[in-house]
Amino acid sequence: MNWRYNMGGQNESPETRKLKAEADLKEAKAKQEQIKLSVTKTEFISAYEVQKELTRLLANLKKSLLAIPHNVASDVGSMDFDMAEFVEKQVDKRINEALKELSEGRLYGTKRKTRK
């Protein structure tokens, strides 16, 4: 009800402020209707569908990343078994660190800020 009161020393009449407020309201309603129309035309995807697809993709990514150490160790193992074990542990450590930091919303390799 901004139109009823003098907001911040404006010199407009109450009728002018009321007309502006009504025009703003009509514009907002028109924008809402445009969004609703876009949703019915399937121009937008529901948040649930996006979340479900992202969950599936990230789970698949995690599974693939966690398989890398074993695959690398298998490739290196034919040359040197001890080196294969070392490489597998190092790659596994780095991938788990990256996944943990991703799950915490941090960028890989950044340090966690401590709260004082």
Burial of 94 (C-beta count, 10 Å sphere; 0-12/13-18/19+): middle
Q: Stretch 12-41: mean pLDDT, rounded?
A: 88
Instruction: Name the pLDDT band for 110 (thresholds 50, 70, 90).
Output: low
Among 34, 10, 35, smallest CA distance to 21 is for 10
Diameter over CA atoms, the chain = 87
Instruction: Name the pLDDT band for 79 (thresholds 50, 70, 90).
Output: confident
Q: Stretch 32-61: mean pLDDT, rounded?
A: 86
Is the pLDDT confidence value at 9 over 90? no
Rounded (5°) CA angle 7-11-12 = 85
Whether the predicted model's global pTM rises above the 0.85 cut: no
Instruction: Name the pLDDT band for 92 (thresholds 50, 70, 90).
Output: very high
